[in-house]
Amino acid sequence: MQIFITGIAGVLGSSLAKLCVERGWKVRGNDIMRREEAWRLGEVIDEIEYIWKSSWDISSEDLRGAEVVIDCAIGFADRPMGIGSPQHVLIANLMPALRLLEIVSKLKEKPIVIYPSSFNALYGNLPGTTFTEDTAPRPSSLYGFTKASAELLYYTYYRCYNVPVIITRVGSAFGPKMRSDELVAKLIIHALKGRDFFLRSPNAKRIWCYSKDVMEFYLKLLEKPWEYVGLTLHCAGNRGDEIITNLELANRIKKITNSDFEIYEAEYEPGEIIDDRPIDFCIDSSRTRELLKWYPKYSIEEGLRETVDWFRENLWRYL
């Protein structure tokens, strides 16, 4: 199988590249990092075709021969690395998707396009509601709006231009090599350095999914992707399907690292408190799990311990 991965040097893209190489599949991908700076691809960089360019610059020639395209380039959160312009978030998240879909729609042999969306970003507060794969997005943040919009864009090209697409809504994924601006990473770094942490949205809830479970999900999906074209699938959950507050997450990391750093409750992120209630939800992913025969194997605790161990050995990368 030939696979093209946009954003291949990122956390999800690099993990998928490694997974595909291990299966003997041919992998090509693009990212904005220079080849020598794509450290997350270190194990497989010589076994893939790496294209140094933005997703905005992808051409039909780049996608030549690809049977599956996994679009990992659209993951620009509201405030990454201090950038907070709403206009920038909208452009950075939606325009590359439109560019990719326009190219694929004109190809004679169209690859299956998989879009990793975000579960937690799509749903505002609906107490008592259980979200399934068929629940319409209800975003309460700008980032969530771009994810919901991208989903609709993908489905529009599926229905109007016969582009075969699969939407995968991923929970809050965490694990080794994750970005330093993500909550789990920030908490671990502060814990290991003994620095106090001001925790925003302390009682907002998220559903966490360890990276090894995420990779197992995509492995199941890539075994027979044509069977899932046109569907929305949930890659969300952990063993026990715990949905915990950010404060509970922080306290678990504090315990695992045996750190005495202080956690101070701070204000809520925009959209994470609605009608004076922190974000809360329930999830039912039974359809996805029955279709793929995929069930999360790792508890939050087990995933955090492995992630902490990796950060202990690689903290220098983030300093």
- Per the structure, the count of domains in the chain is 1
- What span, in angstroms and rounded, lies between the C-alpha atoms of 239 and 208? 10
What does the pLDDT read at residue 141?
Answer: 79
Q: Tell me, yes or no, whether 311 lies in a domain.
A: no
pLDDT at 319: 73
Q: Which amino acid is at 7?
A: G
Q: Is residue 187 part of a domain?
A: no
Average pLDDT, the chain: 91
Give the pLDDT band (50/70/90) at residue 121. Answer: confident
Give the end-to-end CA distance of the chain in Å, rounded to a whole number: 39
Quickly state the pLDDT bin for 251 (edges 50, 70, 90).
Answer: very high
| 271 within domain boundaries | no
Give domain status of residue 198, yes or no.
no
Among candidate residues 83, 303, 81, the one with its CA nearest the CA of residue 173: 303
> Is the residue at 251 inside a domain?
no
290 domain-assigned: yes
CATH number of the CATH domain containing 141:
3.40.50.720
Q: Is 141 or 206 the better-scoring residue by pLDDT?
A: 206
Query: Is residue 281 predicted with pLDDT exceeding 70?
Result: yes
Between 93 and 253, the more confident residue is 253
* Extended beta strands in the chain, E state: 2-6, 26-31, 49-52, 68-71, 112-118, 130-131, 165-170, 172-174, 197-199, 205-210, 232-235, 243-245, 263-265, 273-274, 277-278, 282-283
Q: Report DSSP state, residue 303.
A: H
Residue 159 is predicted with a pLDDT of 97
Greater pLDDT, 197 or 95: 197
Residue 291 in any domain: the answer is yes
pLDDT grade for 84, boundaries at 50, 70 and 90: low
Say if 221 falls within a structural domain. Answer: yes
Structural domain boundaries enclosing 170: 2-178+207-242+281-298
In three-state secondary structure terms, 319 is coil
pLDDT band at 128 (very low <50, low <70, confident <90, very high): low
